């Protein structure tokens, strides 16, 4: 595990890389990618895209998005995403939450694909030639994103980290090939005591740890919806 400054952490990601974004969004790292002018990123929203993907598209950093939807939650539609799709500037791989999450589960478990129930009857099947049908079940290929950008509440110096239970970052962290994690703070004993809605991710999964600046810490620890609101306003 490497402890890096945010700029160095973001510099690990090169143009054209596949970058999956967790929740709450690692906005300090996202802004660093924008600042460094990264281009042609293939983004993955787990299981949907939010303000992080919207900002990367608006800044011209993305060439494609793979997700089950992109919006700004209670703030409504994601205008840069919609415009980029309408003008043909952005390639989209549309999925649906359970299928994307099961694809990550397959990736995390080292198997090439997974059956997913439902799906049959959706036009998504005609737009996803990579999904096959076997005995009436859709077979969805595994996802092992090149990078996962995730944000944790805190970590200890070894890289064990505390994340929220409400979202699917644990699965993303297990499935990604390289995990870049921003944290609000690093301190000894950070994972020893948990409060409601928290879980521990072992250091074994964490490749890069970076402490984000104060404004991101404020947004991220206030909660996910608040962190979106801070950027939408």
Partner 1 sequence: MAAVISRRLLDGERVGVGVNSAIPTAAVLLARATHAPNLRLRLPGRPEGELFLGSKEFFDMAQRGKIDVFFLSGVQIDRRARINLHVLGDYARPRRRFAGAFGSAVLYPLIPRVILFRAEHSPRTLVESVDFVTAAGTPDCLVTPKALLTFGDGELELAAYSPGESVDSVREATGWPLRVRGDVRETPAPSAEELGILRGSVRAATA
- Rule CB under 8 A: which residues touch partner 1? 47-48, 67-71, 73-74, 77-78, 81-82, 85-86, 88, 94-99, 101-102, 105, 116-124, 127, 164-171, 196-197, 199, 223-224
State in angstroms the smallest separation of the CB of 71 from partner 1.
4
State in angstroms the smallest separation of the CB of 110 from partner 1.
18
Do 29 and 179 meet the contact criterion of CB atoms below 8 Å apart? no
What's the CA gap between 44 and 146, in Å, rounded?
10
Residue with tokens 């809605």: 197
CA neighbor of 48 nearest in space, from 112, 107, 118, 97:
97
Q: Omega of the bond prior to 119 within 30 degrees of 0, cis?
A: no
The DSSP H or E segment spanning 19 is strand 18-21
State in angstroms the smallest separation of the CB of 131 from partner 1.
11
Query: Nearer to partner 1 by C-beta: 73 or 157?
Result: 73
State in angstroms the smallest separation of the CB of 212 from partner 1.
20
Query: Nearer to partner 1 by C-beta: 116 or 162?
Result: 116
Query: Nearer to partner 1 by C-beta: 110 or 189?
Result: 110
Query: Nearer to partner 1 by C-beta: 170 or 231?
Result: 170
CA neighbor of 182 nearest in space, from 61, 19, 25, 37:
25
What's the CA gap between 109 and 112, in Å, rounded?
9
State in angstroms the smallest separation of the CB of 187 from partner 1.
23
Residue with tokens 């460094």: 36
What's the CA gap between 91 and 54, in Å, rounded?
14
Query: Nearer to partner 1 by C-beta: 122 or 158?
Result: 122
């Amino acid at each position: 595990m490497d402890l890096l400054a945010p700029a160095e952490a973001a510099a690990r990601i090169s143009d054209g890389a596949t970058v999956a974004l967790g929740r709450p969004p690692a906005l300090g790292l996202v802004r660093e990618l924008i600042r460094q002018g990264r281009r042609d990123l293939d983004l993955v929203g787990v299981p949907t895209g939010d303000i992080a993907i919207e900002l990367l598209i608006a800044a011209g950093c993305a060439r494609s998005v793979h997700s089950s939807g992109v919006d700004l939650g209670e703030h409504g539609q994601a205008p840069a995403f919609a415009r980029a799709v309408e003008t043909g500037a952005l390639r989209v791989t549309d999925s649906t939450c359970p299928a994307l999450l099961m694809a990550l589960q397959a990736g995390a478990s080292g198997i090439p694909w997974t059956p997913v129930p439902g799906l049959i009857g959706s036009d998504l099947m005609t737009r996803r030639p990579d999904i096959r049908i076997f005995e009436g079940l859709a077979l969805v290929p595994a996802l092992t994103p090149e990078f996962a950008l995730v944000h944790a509440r805190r970590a200890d110096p070894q890289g064990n980290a505390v994340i929220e239970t409400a979202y699917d970052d644990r699965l993303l962290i297990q499935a990604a090939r390289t995990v870049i994690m921003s944290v609000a703070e690093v301190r000894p004993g950070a994972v020893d005591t948990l409060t409601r809605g928290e879980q521990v991710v072992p250091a074994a999964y964490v490749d890069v740890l970076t402490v984000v600046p104060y404004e991101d810490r404020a947004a991220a620890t206030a909660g996910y919806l608040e962190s979106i609101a801070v950027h939408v306003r």
